[in-house]
Structure 1
Amino acid sequence: MEALIEEYGRGYNMLREAIEGLTEEEVRFKPAPDKWSIHQILIHVTDSEILSTHRLKKVLAEEEPLLISFDQRAWVDNLAYDLLDRDQYLQLFQMLRCSMQTILETLTCDQYERVGVYADAGRFTFKELLEYRVEHVRDHLAQIERVRAAYKQA
């Protein structure tokens, strides 16, 4: 669990490093009309973190709470992601991750096994939800690299 918590804590720095030195044109580049720009990816990662931090806390605080999924495509399409302040969102991501660190560092083995239930996806332990948060950042870092590569070839 230590390695998982450590990587979770590095999420913000990993995102910052992935965009270091990029121009605004690179960050706003969309590889295709239905693909996200790096800017949109970063806003999405933070919006997802807002909801996921809430879910993680619900699982720790409540008995088998109902967890709600969200339509990420609708959020990108309908919440003016292109107009949102990327740096502000990255700071929010950092604050959310920092706010969870103390909680994570004090959890017992039993707490890692607490369960939340998605109506559309079933039961997940706190540990599984935390693993997904780490994987979510990894997946979007890989997506950022694909967009960077597509920009270079455009």
Structure 2
Amino acid sequence: MKSRLVLKVNNLEESQHFYSQFFKWSEEWKDDINEIVQMRLPSGGAVLLIRGDGEKFKDYTDVAFVKPDPGQRFYIMGEKVEMLKQECIDNQMEYELEVDPGFGQLIMVEDPDGYIVSHWEELYMSDKDILSLYKNGIDRIDTVLEGLSESDLDLVRAEGKWSIRQTALHLIDSDMTLFHRIKFALAEDGRVYKNNPYDPNQWEAGTNYKERSIDTEVSLFKLIREHVLTLCDRLPNALNRKIQTEDQGELTVRKMVKMVAGHSKGHFEQMEETRMIHRV
């Protein structure tokens, strides 16, 4: 399996030891000049640890890969958060824990290079609640943005954070990228699907979030959700339909709808927080 996550590190041995000891990543192979190591995650994915500024690592990555900068967050899905929490406590490591009841929990730890390692674990939610959360996003995006001027859309909740405009465009892009997978699962139940992860920071810069209107995108967001909900209502066994992926295994429509509904929920809350801070 080729890697879809690349981390540039200052000290390869130190980083390899950190991830092996605390997160149980295992070495798959190392190059002859000790500049690239491929690590295997307990959940099955692969990550490249690299040092230096060369491009040789691209020989070992998938066509689509993510290469965050130190200080940025990256996500590892499907890990047992309570076990990782205990590991942090046992080793006196600082961590942050976020729990969204019925949806999921996230534990965040900073690595030696400043990356925010974010492990996500899904929690149980009924089908009725999943579809309700997804549907509520259609009205909530209007409520969150209601009455904001163009200048209001550029407000941020803290230095270095995305503005309301950037956050809105990001959550809409995330809905669109996951919609592709949902539609394939609904139309071709069980098919093999090659995931193409996207880098939110590249999409933000590459499509100029900072200066774009959001009106068309908001309309698209609502239409996509209405379309998915109609299909889930009309097609038999819709939520159990699925795609098979190399890096994430089986992904059901249920899981993907819940994932994107929870993602947007978090960003709606960030935009509401920004409005509260600036009293707009």
> Does TM-score exceed 0.5, indicating one fold?
yes
2:212 paired with 1:84: yes
The TM-score normalised by the length of structure 1 is 0.84
Cα distance, 1:34 vs. partner? Answer: 2.8
**Larger RCO (CA under 8 A, 6+ residues apart):** 1
CA distance in 2, matches of 1:105, 1:24: 37
The amino acid that maps onto 2:276 is: A
| 1:145 matched residue in structure 2 | 272
Identity of aligned residues (%): 26
> Number of residues paired by the alignment?
151
Unaligned residue ranges in structure 1 (runs of 5+): none
Greater percentage in helix: 1
| 1:8 matched residue in structure 2 | 134
| 2:143 matched residue in structure 1 | 17
Which of residues 156, 163, 166 is equivalent to 1:40? Answer: 166
CA distance in 1, matches of 2:241, 2:229: 18
Unaligned residue ranges in structure 2 (runs of 5+): 1-126
Larger Rg: 2
Cα distance, 1:67 vs. partner? Answer: 2.5
- Please identify, of 19-28 and 83-92, the stretch whose mean Cα deviation from structure 2 is larger: 19-28
User: Moved runs in structure 1, 4+ residues, more than 6 A?
Assistant: none
| 1:114 matched residue in structure 2 | 241
The TM-score normalised by the length of structure 2 is 0.49
The amino acid that maps onto 1:104 is: C
Partner SS, residue 251 of structure 2: strand
Query: What RMSD, in angstroms, separates the aligned Cα atoms of the two structures?
Result: 2.1
CA distance in 1, matches of 2:271, 2:129: 23
